[in-house]
């Protein structure tokens, strides 16, 4: 029986991909999320010819540290494909990694796209997935996938509000009866927060740090509101002193990080407020009862739920597996394709 189980696993190679700006997650039908790696590809360039050197985790370590002959590229920008060929290589690599043995099967793949993606951007994603070896490529809107992954009852005739904060975009959506009533995609996410930390340190401390350091600050002591004691935790960071050009180490406190992140956090709050203002009154009443659900990696920013609660006056909760929500939701759309057929687009 175990043998037949394995054979079944070989043949059902259909998968769902959360093609994120920061990370790509792959969900295989019947097996769950089995791959989560950074969306980075490193190339070795010799005489104008590019050769893939590393993809995912290994390539991310090279970001900002490459010699002239090696390029580390992030093919996704703000939730959509910025570098077509590199994205195709990355998807191919992840498909091969997931299906080590079954090279003969062409999977059906469902990919989530930001709500604000243009028809041209959607076509680029679909084309990349098909070129990477998919039999069919379906697209599902990211807010729907996030809400399904967070376990929200989106098929009921009640209003549900989901805020998905990814690496490149924040999707704010109100859902009812399995579809989007209102959605807005703002180009603010984890990357914008990293940039805000870099520019704050440059302005206030005359210290130049790289993206990797900014991300470490954000994940270690990042917070969306001022600590109660006016300082909070602190950590040591290293960078280049802009005044005399030598490497230098300084201490940065949570209060400083909160100050640095004030603008991106405010933009997320404003997007939520705009969504609430444009929601039909009956659905708005449901949202008062049910509250707002935060998903995505950005939802893990310290005290973001409290900052949103202060702005909106609503109950704000963070999804259990907020990092994997979109991938899990896209995977469920693959498992229950008949019930969610209206949400999956196979032909645009």
pLDDT digits (tens, 9 = 90+) for 72-96: 888 887 767 777 778 878 888 888 7
At the topology level, CATH places domain 153-188+265-323 in Nucleotidyltransferase; domain 5 (3.30.420)
Which is nearest to 42 in space by CA: 60, 68, 26, 19? Answer: 60
- Residue 243 above 80 pLDDT? yes
Q: Does 3.40.50.1370 match the CATH number of domain 190-261? A: no
Confidence of residue 12 (pLDDT cuts 50, 70, 90): low
In this structure, the chain runs to a length of 348
Whether 174 has a pLDDT exceeding 80, the answer reads yes
Residue 107 half-sphere exposure toward CB, CA atoms < 13 A: 28
Output the furthest CA–CA distance in the chain (Å, rounded). 69
Class of residue 274 by CB neighbours under 10 A (exposed 0-12, middle 13-18, buried 19+):
middle
pTM of the complete model: 0.81
pLDDT value for 100: 67
- Per-residue pLDDT band at 9 (split at 50, 70, 90): very low
User: What are the domain boundaries of the chain?
Assistant: 15-39+74-143+326-345, 153-188+265-323, 190-261
Please state, in angstroms and as integers, the Cα–Cα distance from residue 39 to each residue in 82, 149, 150, 253, following that order.
12, 21, 23, 30
Min mean pLDDT across 5-14, 100-109, 119-128, 243-252 is at 5-14
- Spatial CA neighbour of 296 closest among 145, 177, 110: 145
- Mean pLDDT, range 230-238, rounded to an integer: 82
**CATH fold match for the domains 15-39+74-143+326-345 and 153-188+265-323:** yes
Q: Which residues of 36-55 are buried (b: 16+ CB within 10 A; e: fewer)?
A: bbbbbbbbeeeeeeeeebbb
Q: Model confidence at 1, in pLDDT bands (50, 70, 90)?
A: very low
Q: In the predicted model, is pLDDT for residue 291 greater than 70? A: yes
Per-residue pLDDT band at 8 (split at 50, 70, 90):
very low
Tokens of 69: 């002959």
pLDDT at 275: 86
Q: In the prediction, which pLDDT does 46 show?
A: 81
Q: How far is it, in rounded angstroms, from Cα 204 to Cα 210? A: 16
Q: Give pLDDT tens digits for 97-140.
A: 877 655 557 788 888 888 877 888 888 888 888 887 778 888 88
**Comparing 1-5, 59-63, 161-165, which segment has the lowest mean pLDDT?**
1-5
In CATH terms, the fold of domain 15-39+74-143+326-345 is: Nucleotidyltransferase; domain 5 (3.30.420)
Does residue 267 surpass a pLDDT of 60?
Answer: yes
Tally of CB atoms within 10 A around 11: 10
pLDDT of residue 40: 85
More confident residue, 64 or 287: 287
CA atoms within 13 A on the CB side of 117: 27
Banded model confidence at residue 315, pLDDT cuts 50, 70, 90:
confident
Contacts of 56 (CB under 8 A, 6+ apart): 24, 37, 38, 40, 90, 93, 94
With a pLDDT cut of 90, the percent of the chain lying above it is 0
pLDDT of res. 101: 55
Known binding-site residues equal: 21-23, 167-169, 215-218, 297-300
Burial 121-140 (b: 16+ CB within 10 A, else e): bbebbbebbbbbbbeebbbb
Q: Show binding-site residues for ATP.
A: 21-23, 167-169, 215-218, 297-300
pLDDT for 83: 78
Q: What is the 3-state secondary structure (H, E, C) of the chain?
A: CHHHHHHHHHHCCCEEEEECCCEEEEEECCCEEEEEEECCEEEEEECCEEEEEEECHHHHHHCCCCCCCEEEECCEECCEECCHHHHHHHHHHHHHHHCCCCCCCCCEEEEEECCCCCHHHHHHHHHHHHHCCCCEEEEEEHHHHHHHHCCCCCCCCCCEEEEEECCCCEEEEEEECCEEEEEEEECCCHHHHHHHHHHHHHHHHCEECCHHHHHHHHHHHCECCCCCCCCCCEEEEEEEECCCCCEEEEEEEHHHHHHHCHHHHHHHHHHHHHHHHHCCHHHHHHHHHHCEEEECHHHHCECHHHHHHHHHCCCEEECCCCCCHHHHHHHHHHHCCCCCHHHEECCC
pLDDT above 60 (res 3)? no
Q: What is the pLDDT of residue 103?
A: 52
């Amino acid at each position: 029986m175990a043998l037949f189980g394995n054979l079944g696993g070989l043949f059902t190679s259909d998968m769902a991909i959360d093609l994120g700006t920061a990370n790509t997650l792959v969900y295989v039908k019947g097996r769950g999320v089995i791959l989560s790696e950074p969306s980075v590809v490193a190339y070795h360039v010799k005489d104008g010819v590019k050769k893939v050197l590393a993809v995912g985790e290994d390539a991310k370590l090279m970001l900002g540290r490459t010699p002239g002959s090696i390029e580390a590229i992030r093919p996704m920008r703000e939730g959509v494909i910025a570098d077509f060929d590199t994205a195709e290589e990355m998807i191919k690599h992840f498909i091969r990694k997931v299906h080590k043995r079954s090279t003969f099967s062409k999977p059906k793949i469902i990919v989530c796209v930001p709500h604000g993606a243009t028809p041209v951007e959607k076509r680029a994603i679909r084309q990349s997935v098909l070129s990477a070896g998919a039999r069919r490529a379906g697209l599902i809107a990211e807010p729907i996938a996030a809400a399904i992954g967070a376990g929200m009852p989106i098929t009921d005739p009640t209003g549900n509000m989901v805020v998905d904060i990814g690496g490149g975009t924040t999707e704010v959506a109100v859902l009812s009866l399995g579809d989007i009533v209102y959605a807005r995609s703002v180009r603010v996410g984890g990357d914008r927060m990293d940039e805000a930390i870099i520019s704050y340190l440059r302005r206030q401390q005359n210290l130049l740090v790289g993206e990797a350091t900014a991300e470490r600050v954000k994940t270690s002591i990042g917070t969306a509101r001022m600590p109660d004691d006016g300082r909070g935790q602190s950590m040591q960071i290293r960078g280049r002193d802009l005044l005399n050009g030598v490497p230098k180490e300084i201490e940065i406190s949570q209060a400083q990080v909160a100050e640095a992140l004030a603008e991106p956090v405010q933009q997320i709050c404003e997007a939520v407020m705009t969504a609430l203002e444009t929601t039909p009154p009956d659905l708005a009443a449901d949202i008062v009862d049910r509250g707002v659900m935060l998903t995505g990696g950005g939802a893990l920013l310290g005290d973001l739920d409290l900052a949103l609660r202060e702005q909106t006056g609503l109950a704000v909760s963070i999804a259990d597996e907020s990092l994997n929500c979109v991938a899990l939701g896209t995977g469920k759309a693959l498992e229950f394709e008949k019930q969610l057929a209206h949400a999956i687009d196979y032909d645009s």
